[in-house]
Structure 1
């Protein structure tokens, strides 16, 4: 029971920090300004970790590599702490793989969350808001390929629904890939 509680808490904290680092990376890549509530939250959660890394790791074009490294470090620490709690000595060799799959799961989960918020805001929001504009801008690159293929149905955009299904399938595939690598 204690392991489950610790695992859950580490997953929540690690997922939040990793997600914030990945969101910072994605917002910079999409050139979304940070002068909005989402940007302020991302900076507040990640500056303590990313700013020291930036002194050592320069950005590569539009990619903020220090944000990616920070996200990977958070996942490594999370799985290292879980390994220590389990007392599984053989699991140390798998730490990089666990962290990589954890990073990918957080990225896909974050996109799923963004798409759900985007869909809900599009239903209930008559006018535009700064938060809605940021979320729409972050979802647009994900939805664009689906919108090219899926026409509007009676005035409804079904591309977020299809994108959510595809991302859920990606989560299933990631789970199976992780299980096969761990064997």
Structure 2
């Protein structure tokens, strides 16, 4: 296997950066729809406008039903798979279809869980700083409430302090370590 030239490394960085931005926007779209975020919010409108052309081909096959935007998720998996194929081509390695699929699934799951983690952290910090309604920060509340609700049922507030974000963060990290880590480990064992 040859090493990648500096020009190749620069190209790889650009491809990785662009792919990461697109997948970030698609995962944000998926999460916004899943959490019933207000579609009149400027950030939500922007994400919808940017991702609509990318999701349009799959929307014809898999139309959006209620809260689950499967076309955004499937488009992210396809783009991540293409990125893995490009990595293989640039590094002169051949990856099997199962490796590409498992790697893509683990990356998408990791990014979605990371996004949920950071949304919860940001929302928790904002709840300490910004008291009351703020139109600029309400999006974080809208996106995290459905995620935190099951944890609030398990762990009610203690002396007025909501500890559900801690429980949610622990659960997210455990899923990343155990579930996503197992999928990634399975994929890595294929190229041993």
The normalised TM-score by structure 2 is 0.81
Higher helix proportion: 1
**Matches of 1:8 and 1:175, distance apart in 2:** 24
CA drift of 1:91 comes to 4.8
Unaligned runs of 5+ in 1: none
Unaligned runs of 5+ in 2: none
Q: Is this contact kept in 1: 2:34–2:67, CA < 8 A?
A: yes
The yes-or-no answer on 1:67 pairing with 2:72 is yes
The yes-or-no answer on 1:95 pairing with 2:117 is no
Could you say if the C-alpha distance between residues 168 and 6 of structure 1 is closer, same or farther in structure 2, counting changes exceeding 3 Å?
farther
Residue-by-residue CA offset, 1:52-73 (whole Å, 9 max, x unaligned):
3323432344422221221112
The yes-or-no answer on 1:153 pairing with 2:148 is no
Equivalent position to 1:178, from 176, 179, 184: 184
Which residue in the other structure is 2:33 paired with?
28
Q: Which aligned pairs between 1:5-84 and structure 2 lie closer than 5 A?
A: 9-84=14-89
| 1:87 partner SS | coil
| 2:99 partner SS | helix
Could you say if the C-alpha distance between residues 52 and 181 of structure 1 is closer, same or farther in structure 2, counting changes exceeding 3 Å?
closer
Q: Is this contact kept in 2: 1:147–1:159, CA < 8 A?
A: yes
Which residue in the other structure is 2:129 paired with?
124
Larger deviation: 55-64 or 20-29?
55-64
| 2:136 partner SS | helix
How many pairs align?
183
**Matches of 1:165 and 1:7, distance apart in 2:** 33
The normalised TM-score by structure 1 is 0.85
CA drift of 1:156 comes to 1.7
| 2:32 partner SS | helix
Deviation above 3 Å: which 4+ runs of structure 1?
1-13, 90-93
Q: Rg bigger for which structure?
A: 2
CA drift of 1:93 comes to 4.6
CA drift of 1:107 comes to 0.9
Q: Is this contact kept in 2: 1:80–1:92, CA < 8 A?
A: no
CA drift of 1:176 comes to 3.6
Residue-by-residue CA offset, 1:105-162 (whole Å, 9 max, x unaligned):
1110110111111111111102312232221121112111111122323322111122
